[in-house]
């Protein structure tokens, strides 16, 4: 985090540098986006995070094309084998190759993580922008809805829903998104509250711009920094929630490979010394979360979106 | 001030009502209905009708909700047909264990995170700050069960220093009678909470250090130690109060996971077991309780914030 600290000392270089001139019909692009990009490029830990994300994604989606393993049929002749030739990370108690299983499990993890971040951010941004811009009673009602949804910790709701319904990838994406849009909604509402009093927004209103246009073309693009940072942290949070759910046994049902499930299963053999069944999955979860958190911190520093997404 | 307090309490009441509505909806999305889930798939139509009549499930939804609310208001959280026990007696039995476990971890975490955050802010950008920031960042990116597994692997399986299971004796007294077995669950929760708090504490202390009154205190020659303890610590404590109130959901979540990993006989583990056994009344009762705790935590945090900082005016 050394670089994050130093970057925070720099004077704001992003949207805070001053209101953009109001030109009706054009996107109010915050100034200094190129500068923000350069700031990110100079951020070593952020680049490390980004590199890790690209490497993990490439490995999980391209790796299985080269490294063929059977992750559907258990093979009881190959159970609990330590790492050796042909099986770099050994096999688990069902005889699945652990490296192959990590890669396949990573696919669903990343798919769900990215999809949840996109869906939750889209919903949260729309909700927050409308709530903050409209104000008054609508704002109060919309924010109470957010409060209510925030009052029940996500993991309790997830466990309940998983005990009632049978989880699939689509259902997990939907439910995780419905639980994750609250943070972005609050953040964007706060931004919208300050933006709606700014001259360029008033100018659009005076010139007869409709409310939807103000929200979609002026408010939301100006919260770009906050949105991108929040979305990055959303991926990390969704992956942790997903892995927790799988670890507790409420994730995708077998034979689907999940990192949380692998960790949970491997823990059973902790006393037997089968370390290769425990550590790879745990480190995979941690590494992925660290990668997104690093990228998020660096983005926050370079876009000067100081508000944290949690 | 009174106006603010009343308004804030009004908001909390609305949110609590919202939580009960959500729980009521959750109860009604059970596929094949609640009586099927309780009486089993072989129950006849007449038996289900009788169950519905006995429990008021044949009434209109609005009436059912009113009855549900009335039940909750009387402290009745529901009845577990699987355990043949009321949910409130179940919870009351175990809540002290949770409070002891989570409370100890929370207190320890604050005792470490507050001085740590201030020390980091005071030595900002030096190696101790980098070291602490890296450590808390790693902890923050770690799911709590992964941390728990690492601690079990190192301290229990590896060094045989502490048992991997929490004390199983009944009651808080029973738990405290075996302090060695409490070390790992408390340690895990403490580390998770330190990661949660110290980053905020560092940011709060950095913000406080930039204030004019700190500059004045330094200018008049107050020793650095006193500046930190009298001015920075006190003012940063205000944001910590809010933080603790707002972190209820996170604390309850890690509590559930730690109880699962270390087999702590608490409400979180009961929730997990209820989910495994499809014991819906227990799940729903605990969900209401958890929601209430969160709302109460937020409310107290806001009120404490207003009371502690005389500069805050809400009128």
Which ipTM did the prediction report? 0.85
Residue A51, CA atoms < 13 Å, CB-side half-sphere: 8
* CA B239 – CA B232 distance, rounded (Å): 11
Count of helix runs (H) and strand runs (E) in chain A: 14, 0
* CA B261 – CA B189 distance, rounded (Å): 12
Tokens of B282: 């227990």
A-chain residues near B16 (CB < 8 A): 151
Select from A163, A285, A290 the Cβ nearest to the Cβ of B278: A163
Degrees, nearest 5: CA angle B188-B189-B194: 100
β partners of residue B79:
B86
Select from B15, B125, B252 the Cβ nearest to the Cβ of A5: B125
> What local confidence, expressed as pLDDT, does residue B128 receive?
87
Q: Contact at 8 Å (CB) between B116 and B104?
A: no
Using a CB–CB cutoff of 8 Å, tell me whether A256 touches chain B. Answer: no
B216-224, long-range: CB < 8 A, 24+ apart: B224/B122
Using a CB–CB cutoff of 8 Å, tell me whether A271 touches chain B. Answer: yes
- Quick one: closest CA in B to A233, which residue? B141
CB contact under 8 A, B18 and A147: yes
Number of neighbouring beta carbons within 10 Å of residue A75: 12
For chain B, how many residues are written? 315
A-chain residues near B256 (CB < 8 A): 155-156
Buried b (16+ CB within 10 A) or exposed e, B91-105: bebbeebbebbbebb
Using a CB–CB cutoff of 8 Å, tell me whether A141 touches chain B. Answer: no
The minimum CA-CA distance between A292 and chain B, rounded to whole Å, is: 9
- pLDDT by residue for chain A (310 residues), tens only, comes to 333 333 333 333 333 333 344 444 444 445 566 777 777 777 888 889 999 999 999 999 998 888 888 888 888 888 877 888 878 888 888 878 888 889 999 999 999 999 999 999 999 999 998 998 888 898 889 999 998 988 888 888 888 888 888 888 998 999 899 889 998 898 888 888 888 888 888 888 888 878 788 888 888 888 888 888 889 989 998 999 898 988 888 888 878 888 988 888 888 888 888 888 888 988 999 999 999 998 988 888 887 654 333 3
Residue-wise pLDDT tens digits, B297-311? 888 888 887 777 776
Q: Is A251 left (phi over 0), alpha (psi -120 to 50) or beta?
A: beta
Using a CB–CB cutoff of 8 Å, tell me whether B165 touches chain A. Answer: no
A-chain residues near B203 (CB < 8 A): none
Contact pairs from chain A to chain B, CB under 8 Å: 129
B-chain residues near A243 (CB < 8 A): 143
> What local confidence, expressed as pLDDT, does residue B127 receive?
87
Q: Contact at 8 Å (CB) between B146 and A290?
A: no
> What local confidence, expressed as pLDDT, does residue A1 receive?
34
Report the residue of A139, A152, A161 to disrupt the B interface, i.e. the one with the largest count of B CBs within 10 Å: A152
CB contact under 8 A, A159 and B18: no
The minimum CA-CA distance between B179 and chain A, rounded to whole Å, is: 23
Buried b (16+ CB within 10 A) or exposed e, A191-225: bbeebbebebbeebeeeebeeeebbebbbbebbbb
Report the residue of B36, B128, B144, B145 to disrupt the A interface, i.e. the one with the largest count of A CBs within 10 Å: B145
Residue A173, CA atoms < 13 Å, CB-side half-sphere: 16
* CA A167 – CA A173 distance, rounded (Å): 10
Dihedral, CA of residue A65, residue A71, residue A77 and residue A81, to nearest 10? 70
CB contact under 8 A, B19 and A236: no
> What local confidence, expressed as pLDDT, does residue A309 receive?
37
Q: How big is chain A by its Cα radius of gyration, in Å?
A: 22
Enumerate residue ranges in chain B where pLDDT < 70: 31-33, 311-315
Full-model pTM: 0.83
Tokens of B157: 């399986």
CB contact under 8 A, A162 and B271: no
* CA B304 – CA B189 distance, rounded (Å): 25
Tokens 């190696």 correspond to B127
Q: Which residues contact B115 (CB under 8 A, 6 or more apart)?
A: none
Q: Which residues contact B212 (CB under 8 A, 6 or more apart)?
A: none
Select from A153, A278, A290 the Cβ nearest to the Cβ of B252: A153
* CA A131 – CA B132 distance, rounded (Å): 39
The minimum CA-CA distance between A259 and chain B, rounded to whole Å, is: 11
């Amino acid at each position: 985090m050394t670089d994050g600290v130093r970057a925070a000392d720099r004077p704001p270089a992003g949207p805070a540098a001053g209101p953009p001139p109001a030109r009706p019909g054009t996107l109010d692009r915050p100034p200094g986006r190129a500068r923000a990009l350069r700031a990110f490029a100079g951020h070593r830990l952020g680049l490390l995070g980004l590199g890790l994300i690209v490497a993990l994604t490439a490995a999980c989606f391209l790796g299985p094309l080269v490294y063929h393993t059977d992750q559907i049929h258990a093979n009881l002749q190959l159970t609990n084998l330590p790492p050796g030739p042909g099986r770099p990370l050994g096999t688990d108690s069902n005889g699945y190759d652990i490296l192959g299983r990590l890669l396949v499990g990573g696919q669903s993890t990343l798919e769900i993580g990215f999809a949840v971040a996109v869906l939750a951010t889209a919903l949260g941004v729309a909700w927050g922008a409308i709530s903050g811009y409209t104000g008054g009673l609508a704002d109060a009602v919309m924010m109470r809805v957010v409060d209510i949804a925030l009052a029940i910790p996500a993991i309790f709701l997830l466990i309940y829903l998983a005990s009632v319904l049978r989880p699939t990838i689509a259902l997990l994406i939907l439910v995780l998104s419905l639980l994750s849009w609250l943070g972005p909604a609050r953040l964007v509402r706060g931004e919208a509250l300050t933006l709606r009093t700014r001259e360029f927004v008033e100018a659009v209103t005076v010139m007869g711009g409709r409310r939807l246009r103000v929200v979609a073309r002026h408010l939301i693009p100006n919260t770009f920094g906050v949105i991108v940072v929040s979305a990055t942290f959303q991926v990390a949070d969704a992956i942790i929630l997903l892995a927790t759910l799988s670890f507790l046994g409420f994730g995708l049902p077998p034979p689907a490979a999940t990192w949380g499930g692998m960790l949970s299963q491997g823990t059973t053999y902790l006393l037997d010394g089968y370390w290769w069944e425990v550590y790879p999955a745990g480190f995979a979860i941690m590494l992925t979360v660290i990668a997104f958190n690093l990228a998020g911190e660096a983005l926050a520093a370079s876009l000067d979106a100081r508000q944290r997404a949690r | 001030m009174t106006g603010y307090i009343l308004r804030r309490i009004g908001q909390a009441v609305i949110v609590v009502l919202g939580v009960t509505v959500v729980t009521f909806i959750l109860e009604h999305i059970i596929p094949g209905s609640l009586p099927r889930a309780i009486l089993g798939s072989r129950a006849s139509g007449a038996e289900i009708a009788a169950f519905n009549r006995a429990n008021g499930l044949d009434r209109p939804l609005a009436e059912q909700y009113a009855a549900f609310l009335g039940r909750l208001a009387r402290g009745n959280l529901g009845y577990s047909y699987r355990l043949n026990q009321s949910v409130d007696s179940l919870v009351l039995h175990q809540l002290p264990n949770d409070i002891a476990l989570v409370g100890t971890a929370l207190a320890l975490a604050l005792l470490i995170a507050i001085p740590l955050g201030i020390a980091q802010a005071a030595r900002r950008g030096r190696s101790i700050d980098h070291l602490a920031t890296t450590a808390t960042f790693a902890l923050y990116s770690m799911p709590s069960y992964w941390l728990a597994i690492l601690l079990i692997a190192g301290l229990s399986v590896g060094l045989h220093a502490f048992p991997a299971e929490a004390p199983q004796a009944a009651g808080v007294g029973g738990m405290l009678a075996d302090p060695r077995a409490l070390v790992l669950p408390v340690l895990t929760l403490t580390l998770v909470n330190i990661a949660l708090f110290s980053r905020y504490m560092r940011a709060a202390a950095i913000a406080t250090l930039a204030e004019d009154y700190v500059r004045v205190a330094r200018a008049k020659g107050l020793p650095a130690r006193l500046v930190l303890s009298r001015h920075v610590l006190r003012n940063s404590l205000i944001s910590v109060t809010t933080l603790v109130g707002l972190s209820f959901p996170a604390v309850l979540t890690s509590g559930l996971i730690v109880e699962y990993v270390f087999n702590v006989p608490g409400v979180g583990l009961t929730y997990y077991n209820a989910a495994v056994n499809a014991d819906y009344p227990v799940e729903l009762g605990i969900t209401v309780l958890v929601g209430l705790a969160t709302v109460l935590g937020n409310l107290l945090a806001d009120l404490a914030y207003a009371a502690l900082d005389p500069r805050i005016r809400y009128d």
